[in-house]
Chains A and B, each alone.
Chain A
């Protein structure tokens, strides 16, 4: 048989390859409660793993596993007072005076290089966060703290400039405590490029293992973590170019979890997959059409269209926000009763706002002189058509969809809208410089309105986040009252409500959606609890029961 020999040779070679490959597979050995591995697909990658100098939420997700806060937000999400906060690095705290807060650190806390975490680390961290050389974005959030000093190696004292309801929140929420002994020698103006930021040493439940740029970050559980050993032995973030790519990795089984499924289609796909469980939670984002109240490029003059309050009110009333929202989000968002995210405790569907009323909108437009004099379907006044340009970023599929639906609704109302779709970088530049008529913007909010709201809707945000330069002294007064003077939560709530209702009457924007997020996690992972402001904040308690472990959970390196 002339062909038998080569075939036998081929078979032997293939068999040898298989044996070789099988022999080189990773050994599968880990058993018990602490063997799980979770792969998280993420649509972004951290820039640096050093909390003061990164603004990305993905950085926060990773560094929250590496670095502890003094205390963390509780499940209620209440940011007022200190009663709903949970101890982390600080074992306990007390108020020496109304403006002096004393933290007692947990003596068991250790940096992952073995050094004890001390009060000096806390003082060093505050100093770094507020140093202009470090140039942290969080510096402004700490402006009410006058000083942080040490009393002894485990006692640290925060002194505030004045008394206000969210003092404790400001003291603990923005800062992750950093190791002074490892960062002291790094020049402050070089923190954004510090080698520490690519291989950090922390004091959290997980320790840094590896970062492959553009690919993945791996953390390993710190089995000696003083607040309790994390159940998942390994957590790996896999990076994809966008969130849709992350969802694809989840659906194909290459990942175990994603933070947000983004579209109703994806939610359906995840729910149809028997291996996945979905977890709805409140979203931190709200989206709106913001009107520029100042002339584009010249903030001293009013905008030729949107300087007119009645015109703005008419456009709000001409918009069927509920219908557009159903088209884009299905059930996974709500029409907000003002510039509010669902995360905020001041969210209240009873807040009064302008109704959808196309008839009243038309009458108001006519009364203000905007009529269709030439019968072309577009209203005009003094020979000028009622037309404006809507600025939005090309990178947001949701906003592009919204823009087209709004364009059609406005057309029916006799208003012509041209879309200015630009990349995100240019969008930000033009928004900040006020070079737009109206923009379709989204804000991702902190857990409290106290910082974000004034920055966005009062003159404090001019040149920053108040892109449309909205200014009403009555709103400013009510916001000040809510943020700084409220004696209790009810009083603050009333002040917030009055501020939002006043703002709604001025119609500086059309508040379109407040997101409701849905995360998806593989069903073998149990005890999944999601805190809406930071979805992985409680990751330490997630686990994979021993009887649900797969080979990839058990694999050893």
Chain B
């Protein structure tokens, strides 16, 4: 197990390194200038700034310098934000992480419940209706669903705020239960948007997994023993049907982080996605590369965690030295 973990960690680092390298070259080779904002910098001012940031050097030299700085734990300075990239990311990461976590909770809680419900009523009206609704949500682009929820619940009904993580007057910080509720109130729509889309696909996987399991002999035996159908499904079938969901858990990370890019923009949520989008438009190279580094690290770690959970959860799977992961 330890050897497997070490190998996976090394492979993960290689993946992150590859992502950083590709991002670095792609963003630097993309046309455009970091000096072109709302009021573009005059050329002489821009040239001096580019020299200060070392952007006038050949790209391979910049790359080597960037890697050397990374090895010393430095992610560079933002051209557009006028602050260390690490500081900007440190401000944004908690927001993205909380949003992703809340969305993950909604995704799996709702997805599992719906999948079980559908499996229990397979082929009946409830199953078909829920399946079609899930398909409809799953087919919607995540930003579109966000805009619809924003329009209905923030603009028309005014049940939820239109954006941002706090009420800046009453709760600029989460320092009381009231402000915690305020924060959760602000979190609801963006988390629901991301979570609903995820839940729709989780439900389909879960339904299929349970229907697969209920055909197994041990389930038939449980029924033959006279157990109630609810107990058969929730105790006997569900435990084995949960295994594919662990795989889904690993897959959910990339979706959550890419989805967050759009959702953070729609809901003015100050997370890493919004930071990265702005940085891409402004050609703020160190921020784009830093955001890619962190996102890929989190996705890779998420998958690593899912693999480990899979191995722990399923006693039939044994991780052997020569075979990689499950």
Interface residues of A (CB under 8 A from B): 20-22, 24-26, 37, 39, 44, 47-48, 53, 55-57, 132, 135-137, 139-140, 189, 192-193, 197-198, 210, 212-216, 218, 234, 236, 238-241, 245, 248-249, 251-254, 395, 422-430, 432, 444, 463-464, 552, 555
Inter-chain contact B169/A215, CB cutoff 8 Å? no
Q: Cβ of A463 and Cβ of B163 under 8 Å apart?
A: no
Contact across chains for A464 and B39 when beta carbons are under 8 A apart: no
Contacts of B80 in A (CB 8 A): 47
* A248 touches which of B32, B163, B277 (Cβ 8 Å): B163
Residues 124-165 (chain B) with a chain A CB within 8 angstroms? 150, 154-155, 158, 161-165
Decide if B164 touches A215 in the complex (CB within 8 Å). yes
Determine whether B166 belongs to the interface, using a CB cutoff of 8 Å to chain A.
yes
Task: Check B270 for interface membership: any CB of A closer than 8 A.
Answer: yes
The one of B37, B41, B169 that contacts A236, using a Cβ cutoff of 8 Å? B169
Q: A248-B162, A429-B31, A463-B43 are in contact. Are A48 and B155 (CB under 8 A)?
A: no
Q: 9 extra interchain contacts, Cβ-Cβ under 8 A, other than A214-B275, A252-B158? A: A21-B177, A37-B169, A192-B49, A212-B172, A214-B274, A238-B268, A252-B162, A254-B163, A427-B36
Whether the Cβ atoms of A423 and B170 lie closer than 8 Å is no
Which B residues lie within 8 Å of A464 (CB)?
Answer: 42-43
Q: A24-B176, A213-B91 are in contact. Are A245 and B38 (CB under 8 A)?
A: no
Alpha-carbon separation in the docked complex, A193 to B281 (Å): 21
Residues of B within 8 A of A249 (CB): 162-164, 268
Q: Which residue of B lies closest to A22 (CB)?
A: B178
Q: From residue A439, how far is it (CB to closest CB) to chain B in Å?
A: 13
B48 x A47 contact (CB < 8 A): no
Whether A57 lies near B38 (C-beta < 8 A) is yes
For A57, A215, A236, A444, the residue with the greatest tally of chain B CB atoms inside 10 Å of its CB is A215
A212-B270, A234-B169, A464-B43 are contacts. A55–B38 as well, Cβ < 8 Å? yes
Residues of chain A lying within 8 A (CB to CB) of residue B32: 423, 425-426, 428-429
- Check A425 against B36 for contact (C-beta < 8 Å): yes
B18: which A residues are within 8 A, CB to CB? none
Q: Which residue of B lies closest to A237 (CB)?
A: B168
A140 touches B169 (CB 8 A): no
Q: In the complex the two chains form, what is the Cα distance from A26 to B155 in whole Å? A: 26
Q: Nearest 4 pairs between A and B by C-beta?
A: A214-B270, A428-B36, A425-B32, A24-B176
Contact between B268 and A552 (Cβ–Cβ < 8 Å)?
no
Q: Which residue of the partner chain B has the closest CB to A247?
A: B162
Number of B interface residues, CB 8 Å?
58
Check B170 against A555 for contact (C-beta < 8 Å).
Answer: yes
Q: Which of B42, B154, B161 gathers most chain A CB within 10 Å? A: B42
Q: Which of A56, A139, A215 interacts with B270 by CB under 8 Å?
A: A215
User: Within the assembled complex, what's the spacing in Å between the Cα atoms of A249 and B167?
Assistant: 12
Binary contact readout B200-234 vs A (1 if CB under 8 angstroms, 0 otherwise): 00000000000000000000000000000000000
B271 to chain A, nearest CB (A): 8
Pair A425/B283 contact, Cβ less than 8 Å: yes
B36/A424 in contact, CB under 8 A: yes
Q: B268 to A245, Cβ gap below 8 A?
A: yes
Identify B155's interface contact among A56, A137, A248, A552, CB under 8 A. Answer: A248
Cα distance A274–B83 when bound, in Å? 42
Interface flag for B45 (CB, 8 Å) = yes
Name 20 interchain pairs, CB-CB below 8 A, sorted by A.
A25-B170, A39-B169, A56-B37, A135-B48, A137-B45, A140-B42, A192-B49, A193-B77, A213-B81, A214-B95, A216-B168, A234-B169, A236-B168, A239-B268, A241-B274, A248-B154, A249-B164, A252-B161, A254-B164, A425-B282
Contact A444 B176 (CB under 8 A): no
Q: How far is the CA of A432 from the CA of B32 in the complex (A)?
A: 11
> Cβ of B49 and Cβ of A135 under 8 Å apart?
yes
Give B276-306 interface residues, CB cut-off 8 Å to A: 277-278, 281-283
Q: Are A214 and B91 in contact (CB under 8 A)?
A: yes
Given the complex of chains A and B, what is the CA–CA distance between A213 and B81 in angstroms?
A: 10
Please report the C-alpha to C-alpha distance between residue A198 and residue B48 in the assembled complex, in whole angstroms: 22
CB of B34 within 8 A of chain A?
A: yes
What's the dominant secondary structure at chain B's contact region? Answer: loop
**Among A218, A425, A464, which residue has the most Cβ atoms of chain B within 10 A?**
A425
Give Cα A269–Cα B213 distance, bound, in whole angstroms: 55
When chains A and B are docked, how far (Å) is the Cα of A216 from the Cα of B43? 31
Q: Contact: B162 with A218, CB < 8 Å?
A: no
Residues of chain B within 8 A of A248, CB atoms compared: 150, 154-155, 162-163
Residue among A21, A424, A425 making CB contact with B181, cutoff 8 Å: A21
> How close is A471's CB to chain B, nearest CB, in angstroms?
18
Within the complex, which residue of B38, B166, B275 is in contact with A56, where a contact is CB–CB below 8 Å? B38
Closest chain-A Cβ to B72's Cβ sits at a distance in Å of 18
Residues of chain B contacted by A424 (CB below 8 angstroms): 36-37, 281
Q: A428 with B172: in contact, given A21-B177, A137-B41, A216-B164 (CB under 8 Å)?
A: no
Q: A463 — nearest CB in chain B belongs to which residue?
A: B43
A140 to B38, CA, bound (A): 19
Closest to B88 in A: A213
User: A214 touching B92 by the CB < 8 A rule?
Assistant: yes
Q: Which residues of A contact B48 (CB under 8 A)?
A: 132, 135
Check B178–A25 contact: CB distance below 8 A.
Answer: yes
With A210-B172, A254-B162 as contacts: A55 and B41 at CB distance below 8 Å:
yes
Q: Are B281 and A253 in contact (CB under 8 A)?
A: no
Contact, CB under 8 Å: A425 / B33: yes
Contact B33 A238 (CB under 8 A): no
Query: Within the assembled complex, what's the spacing in Å between the Cα atoms of A527 and B154?
Result: 30
CA distance A422 to B281 in the complex (A): 10
- Which A residues are in CB contact (< 8 Å) with B170? 25-26, 552, 555
The answer to whether B168 and A429 touch across the interface, beta carbons within 8 angstroms, is no
Chain A residues, Cβ within 8 Å of B2: none
Identify B161's interface contact among A193, A254, A463, CB under 8 A: A254
> A252: which B residues are within 8 A, CB to CB?
154-155, 158, 161-162
Give Cα A463 to B46, complex, Å.
12
A429–B33 touching, CB < 8 Å: yes
**Residue interface mask B73-112, A partner, CB < 8 A = 1:** 0000100111110001001100100000000000000000
Instruction: Output the nearest chain B residue to A426 by Cβ-Cβ distance.
Output: B32
**Interfacial chain B residues near A239, Cβ < 8 Å:** 268, 270
User: Whole-angstrom distance from the CB of B181 to the nearest CB of chain A?
Assistant: 6
A193 x B39 contact (CB < 8 A): no
Q: B40 in the interface, Cβ–Cβ < 8 Å?
A: yes
Known: A252-B155, A254-B162. A240 touches B36 (CB 8 A): no
Query: Which A residues lie within 8 Å of B177 (CB)?
Result: 20-21, 24
- The CA of A391 and the CA of B91, in the complex, are separated in Å by 36
Min distance, Cβ B269 to any Cβ of chain A, angstroms: 8
Question: Taking the nearest CB of chain B, how far is it from the CB of A106, in angstroms?
Answer: 31
A352 CB to closest chain B CB (Å) equals 31
Task: Identify which of residues 167-192 in chain B touch chain A, using a CB-to-CB cut-off of 8 Å.
Answer: 168-170, 172, 176-179, 181
Q: Report if B235 contacts A (CB, 8 A).
A: no
Asked if A218 and B172 sit within 8 Å, CB to CB, the answer is yes
Shortest CB–CB separation between residue A234 and chain B, in angstroms?
Answer: 7
Chain B nearest CB: distance from A93 CB in Å?
29
A47 touches B81 (CB 8 A): yes
B118 at the interface (CB under 8 A from A): no
Is A425 a contact of B77 with CB atoms below 8 Å?
no
| Set of chain A residues within 8 Å of B84, measured between Cβ atoms | 193
Complex contacts, B95 vs chain A, CB 8 Å: 214
Annotate B250-282 by CB proximity to A: 1 below 8 A, 0 otherwise.
Answer: 000000000000000100101100110110011
The answer to whether A395 and B172 have CB atoms under 8 Å apart is no
**B114 contacts chain A at the CB level, 8 A cutoff:** no
B270 touches A213 (CB 8 A): yes
Does B150 lie within 8 Å of A555, measured CB to CB? no
B36 contacts A429, C-beta separation under 8 Å: yes
